[in-house]
Structure 1
Amino acid sequence: MVTTQNQAAPVPRAPAPPAERPRRRPRATSGTGRLAALLVSPTLLVLTVVVLYPTLVALKDSLYGTPGLNPKTGFVNESDPFVGLQNYGAIFGAAGARFWNAFWNTTFLTVTTVALETVIGIAMALIMHRAFQGRALVRASILVPWAIPTAVSGLLWRWIFNSNGVANALTGQHILWTTEGFHAKLAVIIADVWKTAPFIGLLVLAGLQVISKEVYEAARIDGAGALRQFWNITLPLVKPALLVAVLFRTLDALRMFDLPYILIGAKKTSVETLSMLAQDQAANVRFGPAAAYAVILFVYVFLIALAFVRLLGADVLGDDGPARTRRRWLPRRRTEVAA
């Protein structure tokens, strides 16, 4: 048997290229991190002093009672006795009627005033956004109520709602606005809406000025009327600014104190809010129950803000809505029309 020795030698294979390692994201250098920490530190310091420290102190004080006679020793306590959660138990127990009245007053005034301020604020923003003679004067007159301090505004409206004031002269009736009853709530609502509706109008006006005129021109060409333009263009594009304004006003209205306190008065069941209740306890040297009311109000405001951001957080960013609205109403390119 003959074997051939001229067989082709095996060709050596090229070494396989090394596997590519996944790229790592570039990390911030130490200098950049230090600069960021340096820039953020003043804000964190202010938040710690203004928000975190008072909250912790109020939480600690809510666990202590009012100094009084010690039944074991027969002497007066020199310091506040530790009572644990008794202040919270008293709020939802013996003092539950007054607490729930203040809670529902706070909720009712917040919902009513914010709803009216939103509608009126949007109308103010649309008026201030239009081009006409004397627009600067109209803008200044609309923003004047918001610039007036709340205490001064409360005194002005107290004079208006006096028994012989302007309100009774216009209605032709003799209503005691600053006494108990639903008319006291109505007086607070009118005064608060008059003062803070321009705030929402100002933020909505800022959102209106960002909208391009080409969007409205394209909508007119498509035959969209004024109502359809407002519903499909103005409202979606101004929604981020509007939601921020409503959130700020809601949080501010939940802490309402000075306007009903000055306009109607203290210890009025019709308009007593949680802030007024906490102030009344502190004025009577019951700092433990006052701190408990303040903590409950803080938790209530925090939960409302958290729910608002969680439910409407995506819309607040406004990533898809404005772009989708612009693409819908902007005129198509010539190549698309020819196709």
Structure 2
Amino acid sequence: MSVRTGDSRALVPRASTRRERASGRKDHDGRFAFWLVVPAILVLTVVIGYPVIAALVRSLFSDSIASAPRFVGLDNYFSALWGVNSGKFWDSVGVTYFFAAVTIVLETAIGLGMALVMNQAFRGRGLLRGVVLVPWAVPTAVAAVLWKWSFDPVGIINALTGSHVVWTGSDWPSKAAIVIADTWKTSPFIALLILAGLQIIPGEVHEAAKIDGAGAFQRFRLITLPLVRPALLVAILFRLLDALRMYDLPAILTHGANDTTTLSILVVQATLSELKPGFGGALSTLTFLLIFVTAYAFVRLLGVNAVEAQIGGGRGGNR
């Protein structure tokens, strides 16, 4: 008994030593990971942080060319929100949110359908997934030029439909052209994110529902849609952030004409075309604030509720 007691006592410092070594390794790995991330943080600070701060500071100064800029405080912001330039600003806000709302609805519906098809088991599924992602892989500027040729009055769109529409010649045809091009370009991205969510749904859940007599639509509404909702919300959030800063497609297709000037186009026009860096800095700051507030509201109103619904559903199932 005394030998066993001595052995058990000897094991205590050994176990403590192993825990200390494991804790030391974790601390070392944490410090090592931190120093690996530091270069990326510095690069992002220089590439992203400096331009943002510079634009914010410049927005507080005048746009005088003949003399040195003078400090004007929030005058550029007042001019954009309530002053002589408020009409252009609020028109561009409406156009931006219109494009965001329409394209997100269409891309989500099309992307969900594409993801459901690609999630099925059939021959050539891998090839189909690769082909579907081709539009997303094409640079936006290149896609915009291709669609501009297609929407030409003597282009392929009018040839296939037998119409004679001047797509970039008036308001609603111009907006329709931008929506079609953007939907073609970005639907595969939505489909890819939703497909990732579909992949983690256990097949046994659908098999059990089939045995219980649930139809295809019932399985989609009661099983697939609730379980894929987190991935769907993430996809919509990413697309929302991208749509609110839309620039390439309307800039190339219409040059912002025919009521297609988005916030990003307005910022570029004020800064480069009109040589108003102060006013352009104010517009860019306001654009950032609008995007931030919209994304925050989306997460608070939909994202948190979706997570709570998932947790509540899981608890209900365990009961």
Q: Which category of TM-score, normalised to the shorter sequence, fits these structures?
A: 0.7 to 0.9
Which amino acid is 1:104 matched to?
A: G
Q: Is it true that 1:293 corresponds to 2:267 in the alignment?
A: no
Farther-moved stretch of structure 1 (196-205 vs 308-317)? 308-317
> How many pairs align?
293
Which residue of structure 2 lines up, in the alignment, with residue 134 of structure 1? 124
Q: Is it true that 1:114 corresponds to 2:104 in the alignment?
A: yes
Which amino acid is 2:62 matched to?
A: G
Which residue of structure 2 lines up, in the alignment, with residue 320 of structure 1? 311
Shift of 1:156: 0.7
Shift of 1:115: 0.8
Separation in 2, partners of 1:90, 1:64: 13
CA offsets, 1:152-187, max 9 Å, x none? 100110011001111112232211111231110000
Q: Is it true that 1:146 corresponds to 2:143 in the alignment?
A: no
Farther-moved stretch of structure 1 (94-103 vs 306-315)? 306-315
Which residue of structure 2 lines up, in the alignment, with residue 226 of structure 1? 216
Separation in 2, partners of 1:39, 1:311: 36
Compared with structure 1, are the counterparts of its residues 179 and 57 closer, same or farther at alpha carbon in structure 2 (3 Å cutoff)? same
Match of 2:114 among 99, 112, 124: 124
Separation in 2, partners of 1:140, 1:33: 38
Say whether the 8 Å CA contact 1:239–1:316 is kept in structure 2. no
Separation in 2, partners of 1:252, 1:259: 12
CA offsets, 1:133-169, max 9 Å, x none? 2222322221111110001100110011001111112
Which residue of structure 2 lines up, in the alignment, with residue 4 of structure 1? none
Say whether the 8 Å CA contact 1:244–1:316 is kept in structure 2. no
Q: Percent identity?
A: 49
Shift of 1:321: 6.0
Which residue of structure 2 lines up, in the alignment, with residue 54 of structure 1? 51
Shift of 1:41: 2.7
Match of 1:91 among 80, 88, 108: 80
CA offsets, 1:197-226, max 9 Å, x none? 000100111111111110001111111111
Compared with structure 1, are the counterparts of its residues 50 and 325 closer, same or farther at alpha carbon in structure 2 (3 Å cutoff)? farther
Say whether the 8 Å CA contact 1:103–1:274 is kept in structure 2. yes
CA offsets, 1:91-112, max 9 Å, x none? 1210111111111000000000
Say whether the 8 Å CA contact 2:174–2:258 is kept in structure 1. no
Which residue of structure 2 lines up, in the alignment, with residue 249 of structure 1? 239
Separation in 2, partners of 1:299, 1:173: 42
Shift of 1:312: 2.8
Q: Is it true that 1:175 corresponds to 2:175 in the alignment?
A: no
Normalised by the size of structure 2, how large is the TM-score? 0.85
Shift of 1:326: 7.1
Separation in 2, partners of 1:45, 1:151: 29
Which residue of structure 1 lines up, in the alignment, with residue 148 of structure 2? 158
Which residue of structure 1 lines up, in the alignment, with residue 269 of structure 2? 280
Which amino acid is 1:125 matched to?
A: A
Which residue of structure 2 lines up, in the alignment, with residue 217 of structure 1? 207
CA offsets, 1:32-82, max 9 Å, x none? 6644543543443344234333221111011111124xxxxxxx31x2222
Q: Is it true that 1:38 corresponds to 2:35 in the alignment?
A: yes
Shift of 1:269: 4.0
Match of 1:270 among 244, 259, 275: 259
Separation in 1, partners of 2:35, 2:183: 41
Q: Is it true that 1:239 corresponds to 2:229 in the alignment?
A: yes
Match of 1:66 among 63, 85, 92: 63
Say whether the 8 Å CA contact 1:128–1:205 is kept in structure 2. yes
Which amino acid is 1:63 matched to?
A: L
Separation in 2, partners of 1:318, 1:222: 24
In structure 1, the residue corresponding to 2:133 is in which secondary structure?
helix
Separation in 2, partners of 1:176, 1:120: 26
CA offsets, 1:109-135, max 9 Å, x none? 000001110000000001111112222
In structure 2, the residue corresponding to 1:52 is in which secondary structure?
helix
In structure 1, the residue corresponding to 2:213 is in which secondary structure?
coil
Compared with structure 1, are the counterparts of its residues 235 and 327 closer, same or farther at alpha carbon in structure 2 (3 Å cutoff)? farther
Normalised by the size of structure 1, how large is the TM-score? 0.80
Gaps of at least 5 residues in structure 2 are: 1-22
Q: Is it true that 1:105 corresponds to 2:105 in the alignment?
A: no
